[in-house]
Structure 1
């Protein structure tokens, strides 16, 4: 029997659902970039660094965001490679179904997030939702894992930012004490310390040090 007019075949329905899923993922790409990758930690540290140096809008937000995005691509490359090898390529080769590909694609980012998520942050969201506590990692909800990972990244980013702030704060205090002892109380200490902070940052090869240390925190 032929299908009634207007009734789609199962294969057509499946293709439409796959297209709908792809469009949904693309629309959520900014949220995925912010919450499931290393971007959050990197951009927080960069802004703390700029505030500690007191350079106002230098480097500009666009430069910091672009550098953070490219660093995120480098750090997340192994995760993306595993997703491609385990899920995308077998699916394109029609070796696995769409549901199997979706299940396999979740595993590499879940492993990455588990590595950098604190258990007590995950416990907070289970307490909020009232969901049953998982017995192992496989039972952890991906949505709750993403939320806990984001909180953990915020905490880690602020911790690194605080450590970066300390040497610049000490330099500000030294300059302020010198100006006070010289009776130059009307001269803003930040204006005097800024060249010294920039010089210190250049001498220690600051960008290489900060970027290298950030990458190492994800190893």
Structure 2
């Protein structure tokens, strides 16, 4: 073997030995380090804290009492609460208008007058309802003004609470209804409610007074309607007798009597008399 071949073989052996050593060192560096059980237990126990004892609940300072304030920042009634109250009043306004004012009586009398004349659609219902509404406002104006003075304005000016305003405002309305309600209706509704008669009429609750007032208004309206029907009924009888005597049985008496009814009603100023009688029944 020559010297050159010996040198080449020695260099190859050295190179392969270096590669084997490098691979062993890299494998040793890549192997994960092992963690002992004692070290793991110590690290876990160091991050866990013992639970604390629960704290007993404490009762609030104002237990058993609730405070509700509906006033705004400046002490006046809140605008939101005022809007809610206004919407509530508007929702029950039709029932209040029908059962606690003169609207029902006036509308019934005007409707009976139209029927007595023999006119089924003239004046229209809208006209009668509008006329009844404005007559009601005219009749109830003193009562509404008194309610505004003793209840609405003091409540808006922080003079009283909502409950006090309701109680103060119901007094003028009760006075108006008591003037128009008969004792018989009050006794009827009190007996129907299984209550004892109050010592005075002023002590009658609204739950009894409102239906009693409505019954009295219906009775008065029918009495006025009966009086209105009498002269027109006489005209119908006279016209029917005249047509029978003339042998004109095929001619409807209502058609012939209608012009005479209208003439009589216009000559005596019927609408003026009826409205005057209705208004005077409350103010007189």
Normalised TM-score (structure 1): 0.91
The 5 A counterparts of 1:11-160 are: 11-12=69-70, 20-160=84-224
Deviation at 1:22, TM superposition (A): 3.8
Unaligned runs of 5+ in 1: none
SS for the counterpart of 1:154 is: helix
Deviation at 1:60, TM superposition (A): 0.6
Cα distance in 2 for partners of 1:217, 1:77 equals 15
Cα distance in 2 for partners of 1:196, 1:34 equals 34
Deviation string for 1:77-106 (max 9, x for gaps)? 000000011111122222222222111100
Deviation at 1:18, TM superposition (A): 6.2
SS for the counterpart of 1:10 is: coil
Deviates further, 97-106 or 50-59: 97-106
In the alignment of these two chains, the number of paired residues is: 213
Deviation string for 1:27-47 (max 9, x for gaps)? 110011101000111011111
Unaligned runs of 5+ in 2: 1-60, 72-76
Aligned counterpart in structure 2 of residue 10 of structure 1, from 65, 68, 90: 68
Deviation string for 1:160-205 (max 9, x for gaps)? 0000000000011011111111111111111000001001111111
SS for the counterpart of 2:251 is: coil
Deviates further, 191-200 or 96-105: 96-105
CA RMSD in angstroms, aligned pairs only: 2.0
Deviation string for 1:36-78 (max 9, x for gaps)? 0001110111111011100111001111011000110111000
Deviation string for 1:135-161 (max 9, x for gaps)? 113321102100000000000000000
The 5 A counterparts of 1:172-191 are: 172-191=236-255
Deviation at 1:209, TM superposition (A): 1.1
SS for the counterpart of 1:11 is: coil
Cα distance in 1 for partners of 2:190, 2:69 equals 38
Aligned counterpart in structure 2 of residue 203 of structure 1, from 241, 256, 267: 267
Higher helix residue share? 1
> Corresponding residue for 2:54?
none
